[in-house]
């Protein structure tokens, strides 16, 4: 299996621009997670989906962030407008269940907002 695939791997954008991060989970996994990692706050869960339905988005920092999962093989995380404090590594992960068990991470999208 190819694992969780994320794109882009690196993105540098100007403040105020829209950023869209993409994720393809492992085939057959029914749960998908978006995490953000920074030195200050570590790994934070932003949102997770089960069977393409958002279950908990309480970790989404504010209305500038939105996530969608139109089908079982694709999800996006969008930031509009982006701000310098959004600079972080954004990880997508998937698993067979949204509670319990191990999850599989992608390689991350490194976002820098200048």
Partner 1 sequence: SQKIEQNSEALNIQEGKTATLTCNYTNYSPAYLQWYRQDPGRGPVFLLLIRENEKEKRKERLKVTFDTTLKQSLFHITASQPADSATYLCVLTDSWGKLQFGAGTQVVVTP
Please give the residue ranges that form the binding site for partner 1 (CB under 8 A).
Answer: 4, 42-43, 45, 48, 56, 91, 93, 98-108
Query: Which CB sits closer to partner 1, 65 or 91?
Result: 91
33 vs 46: CA distance, rounded Å: 8
Sheet hosting strand 74-79, strand order edge to edge? 5-7, 19-24, 74-79, 65-71
Minimum CB distance to partner 1, residue 105 (Å):
3
Q: Please say which residue, 10 or 17, places its beta carbon nearer to partner 1.
A: 10
CB of 18 to partner 1, least distance (A): 24
Distance CA 93, CA 11 (A): 19
Closer residue to partner 1 in complex, CB, 70/101? 101
**For partner 1, which is the closer residue by CB, 88 or 103?**
103
Taking the complex as a whole, the smallest distance from the CB of residue 36 to partner 1 amounts, in Å, to 11
Q: Is residue 4 within 8 Å of residue 23, measured between CB atoms?
A: yes
Which among 64, 71, 67, 65 is positioned nearest to 55, based on CA atoms?
A: 67
Give me the least distance between CB of 64 and partner 1, in Å please. 22
DSSP assignment, residue 40?
A: T
């Amino acid at each position: 299996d190819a694992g969780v695939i994320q794109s882009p791997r690196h993105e540098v954008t100007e403040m105020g621009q829209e950023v869209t991060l993409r994720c393809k989970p492992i085939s057959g996994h029914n749960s998908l997670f978006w995490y953000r990692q920074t030195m200050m706050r570590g790994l934070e869960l932003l949102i997770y989906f089960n069977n393409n339905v958002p279950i908990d988005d309480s970790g989404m920092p504010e209305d500038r962030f939105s996530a969608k999962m139109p089908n079982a093989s694709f999800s996006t995380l969008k930031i509009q407008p982006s701000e310098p404090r959004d600079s972080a590594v954004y990880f997508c992960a998937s698993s067979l269940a949204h509670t319990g068990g191990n999850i599989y991470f992608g390689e991350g999208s490194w976002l820098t907002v200048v």
